[in-house]
A = this chain, B = another copy of it.
Amino acid sequence: MNKVGYLGPKGTFTKMAVDGLFDEIDSVSYKTIPACIDAVNAGEVDLGVVPIENAIEGSVHLTLDYLIHHVDLPIVAEATVPIRQHLLVHPSFEGDIGDIEEIYSHTQAISQCHQFIHQNAPQAHIEYTASTGQAAQLVLEKGARTAAIANEKAAREIGLKILKSDVHDYPNNHTRFVVLKQDSQPLSLEHTEKNGFKTSIMVTLPRDYAGALHQVLSAFSWRQMNLSKIESRPMKTGLGNYFFIIDVNQEYDDVLFPGVQAELRALGCQVRVLGSYPTYVVSDEKIKQLNQ
């Protein structure tokens, strides 16, 4: 049985990704993204799952930077999970939203529900917590007239009532997670919905000049390779030095990718493949099923 590390505690969106991806595993919770990545690197766990885009609990930058600067672990899979925030109250609460005096949650979750709170509970005092799970725990302890913004997993595991579901301001909110492993063999999961294949590449420019990035992209463009994402990130050597993370919508092959790499290296760029991996979707239905 695989041992899977993830950014915890239980009730986080990362745990929802883990439960949505894997059927029978032994899961281990880590308190920070670096601690989880270190555990994979040290062989404490076989796989590690951490957020990489649009997360509540962690920052994409932290994950990317740690992968680039501290370890050399390939990405072997990606999972996309829908983010739904709910307003949770104590099971004994009988009033409505206007009766709530305090709302607890993580600062990112509060921000994601800014419009909702502003329109429906302007009277409530906002109190920040270190995680959405901790907010739910506080409501269980404090009881009447308090509410938490958290996911349905927290409601179920901690024993709160959902007063209003889907209180997040944007309807199509998703978080992307990556699965890390010591060897680069793509992770094949039979029971999870697969929606494609991606290859992530890091490119460091030899120097900062007008048109350098345009030249880099030419290597992909004339081969008609479609990029799904591009992001510049500062090198840790000071401001103004950037490298690029490029996601290509196809599997690493023996012709196109080696061609791109050879051309970019001839231009003086450093090139590193961060992983070539299947992308999975954890659907709303799957999450509902897990929460029953």
A residues with CB within 8 A of B: 31-35, 38, 53-54, 57-62, 69, 80, 106-108, 110-111, 114-115, 126, 128-131, 134, 170-174, 208-211, 213-215, 217-218, 220-222, 224-232, 234, 236-240, 242, 244
Taking a contact as CB atoms under 8 Å apart, the answer to whether A228 and B240 are in contact is: yes
- Starting from the known contacts A69-B170, A172-B237, 10 additional A-B residue pairs (CB-CB under 8 Å) come to A53-B234, A58-B111, A80-B239, A171-B236, A174-B234, A214-B218, A214-B221, A228-B240, A229-B242, A230-B232
Residues of B within 8 A of A38 (CB): 114
Query: Which of B228, B232, B236 makes the CB contact (< 8 A) with A229?
Result: B232
A65 and chain B: residue at smallest CB distance: B170
Collect the chain B residues with CB atoms within 8 Å of residue A217's CB. Answer: 213-214, 217
**What are 29 A-to-B residue pairs whose CB atoms are below 8 Å?**
A31-B110, A32-B107, A32-B114, A33-B111, A34-B115, A35-B114, A53-B234, A59-B59, A69-B170, A80-B239, A106-B130, A128-B130, A128-B131, A130-B130, A171-B236, A174-B239, A209-B226, A210-B220, A210-B221, A210-B224, A210-B226, A210-B227, A213-B227, A214-B221, A215-B221, A229-B232, A230-B230, A230-B232, A231-B231
Inter-subunit contact A226/B239 (CB<8 Å): no
Q: How many copies does the complex hold?
A: 2
Find chain B residues with CB under 8 A from A111 CB.
32-34, 58, 62
Shortest CB distance A193–B (Å): 13
CB contact between A108 and one of B62, B114, B208 (< 8 Å): that residue:
B62
C-alpha spacing A110/B230, complex, angstroms: 28
Whether B231 lies near A32 (C-beta < 8 A) is: no
CB distance from A124 to the nearest CB of B (A): 12
Bound together, the chains give a CA A214 to CA B224 distance in angstroms of: 11
For A221, list chain B residues within 8 Å (CB).
Answer: 210-211, 214-215
Q: Given the complex, which residues of B lie within 8 Å of A131, measured CB to CB?
A: 107, 128
Closest B residue to A35 using CB positions? B114
Q: Which residues from chain B contact A224 at a C-beta distance below 8 Å?
A: 210-211
CA distance A61 to B174 in the complex (A): 13
List B contacts of A107 (CB < 8 A): 32, 57-58, 130-131
Considering the chains assembled together, what is the distance between the CA atoms of A237 and B171 in angstroms? 8
Closest chain B residue to A223 by CB distance?
B210
> Chain B residue with minimal CB distance to A226?
B210
A114 and B239 contacting across the interface, CB-CB below 8 Å? no
